[in-house]
Structure 1
Amino acid sequence: MSYDLLNGVRVLDLTAVVVGPAATWRLGQYGAEIIKVENPEGDLMRGLGGLSPTGQHAGAYLHLNRGKRNICLDLKAAGAPEVMTRLVAWADVIVANMRPKALTKLGLDADTIRTKHPDKIYCLLTGYGSDGPYGGFPTYDSVVQGAVGLPGLSLARDGEPRYVPLLICDHVVGEIAAGAIMAALLNRHRTGAGVTLEVPMFETMATMVLQEHLAAQSFDPPVGPYGDQRLLSPYNKPIKTKDGYIAVTINTDPQVKAFLIATGRTKIAADPRFASVAARAVNVAEWFEIRGAALDDKTTDEWLALFRATDLAAMPIHSIESLSHDPHLTAVGLMTQEVHPTEGASSVLRSSILVNGTVLDRRSSSAPKGWHSAEVLEELGFSVLEAKAMFEQGTAIAG
């Protein structure tokens, strides 16, 4: 049985790079129909995301733009406003991550659209909230990582600031934006009214960091320093084994006792400094030094067998290469192969979410630039001659 939870919902995608495409990708995974509008230069991520057979579908672009039809338009050309007027009328949801000034100039800002169409849901993804002093500043994932203190956390723990080697802010904020859009769709179903959403990357990620690391400073007066001292411990890292590394997390008192006995530290198991959650919180530095000490007398596989026998949470440390061949991911079919229309054989990642035990349907390949331009123009009511004129004038580009 197929589950299209957002069947019938139409999304106009005015986004590029990662944060916006991540949000609309998620909506597409749930069954929404998406039309992505791309400028003649193309989404920066087509090339910025790395190598590809044609140079037009970097891996990240390939994965983030599945299930979207693509129309290529020069939004500054004379005929483009009429195309956009019809696309806006077609859509239930408009998602944009262009700068607000550029959207206003094109007449594609929330106020302009929702004045004409109060039932539309308009979601603007920004770097910083428009009402604050940073509003309108340009940004990218690494800049937001720095602004919210992620490299600062590495500095506090490891003595050197480092970015998370993943576009973590883009992905997280994109997912949160998709959730906000779905809440707005539920509200519209109940009330008939649209809403304007703004999802700023800085504030969204700052909230996540502070939820963890405001910590003892959350109280007035404070009861301790900033930062979750467990997470900031230099010993909070993968544990060295005889032939690699292993990830182990132990939190409850029974888990701690089982871990200490399994690793031959029976005397420590009786130490009152580590005998309870409260005691370990007081002695967090000493506890994490013990917990993070090397286990280099056994291999990773030997430790995994031992820990799993006592029901402890433990996994090997994957490399990027080994993750794509993980036996569990292979068994559940997270990644398969397909033939892309221009790139040939390519890997496909399905949604990780199951509905009533059923995997959500895989969506169509990410489309080459302008692949659906003629098809979309026809559906919007433009005649063959009108579409031909747009292509000849460069207003629209066909794939």
Structure 2
Amino acid sequence: MTGPLQGVRIIDMTTVLMGPYATQILGDLGADVVKVEPPTGDTVRDVGPRRHDGMAGIFLHVNRSKRSVVLDLKKPAGREALLRLAADADVLIYNVRPQAMARLNLGYEEIARVNPRILYVGVYGYGQGGPYAAKSAYDDLIQGAVAIPSLAKTAGADVPRYAPSAIADRIVALAAANAVTAGLFHRLRTGEGQAIDVPMFETMAQFVLGDHMGGLTFDPPIGPSGYARILDHNRRPYRTKDGYVCVLVYNDKQWRKFFDMIGRPGLMDNDPRFATIGERTRHINELYQMVAEVMPTRTSAEWIALLEAADMPVMQLHTIDSLLADPHLGAVGFFDVVEHPTEGAIRSMAIPSQWSKTPPQVARQAPRLGEHSAEVLAEAGYSAADIHKLAEEGATVLAPAAQ
């Protein structure tokens, strides 16, 4: 491994999407991520298409660069094994409610008692100082809590709609990965471990309100909430003669070129509504309506060629299927068909960032349930006989040899 987090060990007690995506990022960056699963496994193992039980596509895309160990934390022997793993770890990250960790007697105090230098990172729904502290949280609920469906309706959807991607899970996962790396940097300077909480609600509230606080930023308010350009119902892929195309004309230079292109030269000089970015924002509906009306006069290919020749922002509208065949992603090697030890050929996505000195790399493909139980427990000091006894007691599960 050559990644910048080489030598960092992470005990990953997360499941589903948010936590596993965060720890996959850290694993790709070189950390040794030990995924601790209950005997039934991560629930997302069987969500969606799969060749074998427990190895569905979504699971494969958020659990690479990890090892899997099964521990039943409700059994004393399973909890003791977790504490032994934590004693030699740099980070423990979980995404259940803190109340659940407390019921397992695995709160920060218990973990810090065996390893005071550890980073104890909670990624869950709501900050613990408010009335929502004990509420459960999922991506859909958090999207609703921070007004994303309401914004979609304001922007033209027929009814409030969730974004068709688990954006809350993935955005908060990025925040969690940032928190872990910053916490590790602090510990490097001071030697201090600490508890770090990354609540979904507050993280996403900041994300959304950064765009849409608007006039409510000021006290007293000087205008309504909402970023008018983003919320305009014409802010969408424009219909062309034969399909759709994505266009964003933004600054003065670009609008002047665009008005010339559609046969309306001098419009910025003659119509004060379009003279400055401030006025254009106030009259964004009329402006975008003008673009929507002219786009069907040419094909998508004609518009792309014309706008690119003028160095103006334009992009084709992909579907998921066409995105997989995108020529740029092909040229940069974003997709690779790799051979999974048990699942056969799978399409894997590259690590997006590029590093000149410590390039991240995929350590291994997503593990089978308990694939590394014996290996990880042996590293924690358990003998073969001890491991066999844990398995007999149901405190762990040992995966059969790969076929």
Give the structure-1-normalised TM-score.
0.96
State the distance in 2 between where 1:358 and 1:396 align: 35
Q: Distance in 1 between matches of 2:76 and 2:210?
A: 48
Deviation at 1:360, TM superposition (A): 2.8
Corresponding residue of 2:167: 168
Q: Is the 8 A contact 1:241 1:299 kept in 2?
A: yes
How far apart are 1:283 and its partner, in Å? 2.0
Alpha-carbon distance in structure 1 between the residues aligned to 2:70 and 2:192:
30
- Of 125, 128, 147, which aligns to 1:127? 125
Which shifted more, 275-284 or 90-99? 275-284
Deviation, 1:357, is 8.4
Shift of 1:294: 4.8
Contact 2:38 2:73 in 1 (8 A): yes
Residue 189 and residue 359 in structure 1: after superposition, are their counterparts in 2 closer, same or farther (change >3 A)? closer
- How far the C-alpha of 1:223 sits from its partner, in A, is 2.2
Between the aligned residues of both structures, percent identity stands at 40
Deviations 1:224-279 (A, max 9, x none): 21100111111111111111111111221001111222233335344221121122
Of stretches 352-361 and 218-227 in structure 1, the one that deviates more from structure 2 is 352-361
| Gap regions ≥5 residues in structure 2 | none
- Match in the other structure for 1:88: 86
User: CA shift at 1:149, angstroms?
Assistant: 0.3
2:205 aligned residue: 206
| Pairs within 5 Å for 1:254-273 | 254-266=253-265, 268-270=267-269, 271-273=271-273
Alignment of 1:39-58 (within 5 A): 39-48=38-47, 50-58=48-56
1:138 to 136, 146, 149: 136
Trace 1:1-399 onto structure 2 (pairs within 5 A).
3-48=2-47, 50-158=48-156, 159-266=158-265, 268-270=267-269, 271-356=271-356, 360-399=360-399
Matches of 2:106 and 2:294 in 1, distance apart?
57
Matching residue's letter, 1:136: A
Show structure 1 runs of 5+ residues with no match: none
- On the 8 A contact 1:336/1:347 being kept in 2, the answer is yes
Conserved? CA contact 1:5–1:31, under 8 Å: yes
Contact residue 213 and residue 228 of structure 1 kept, 8 A:
yes
Q: Tell me, in whole angstroms, the C-alpha distance in 2 between the residues paired with 1:319 and 1:259.
A: 27
1:188 deviates by 0.4
Counterpart of 2:168 in 1: which secondary structure?
Answer: helix
Equivalents in 1 of 2:344, 2:338: separation in Å? 8
1:363-396 CA distances to partner (integer Å, 9 max, x unpaired)?
3100000000111111111111111111222211
Q: What is the letter of the counterpart of residue 388 of structure 2? A: K
Instruction: Note the C-alpha offset of 1:115.
Output: 3.9
- Tell me the matched-pair count: 397
CA contact (8 A) 1:46 1:58 kept: yes
Q: Deviations over 1:326-380 (max 9, x none)?
A: 1100111111111112211111111100012886322310000000011111111
The CA RMSD measured in Å over matched residues stands at 1.5
C-alpha distance after superposition, 1:152-200 (max 9, x if no partner):
0011121421110100000000011100111111000001001211011
TM (norm. structure 2) is: 0.95
CA shift in 2, pair 1:294/1:55, >3 Å: farther
CA contact (8 A) 1:20 1:174 kept: yes
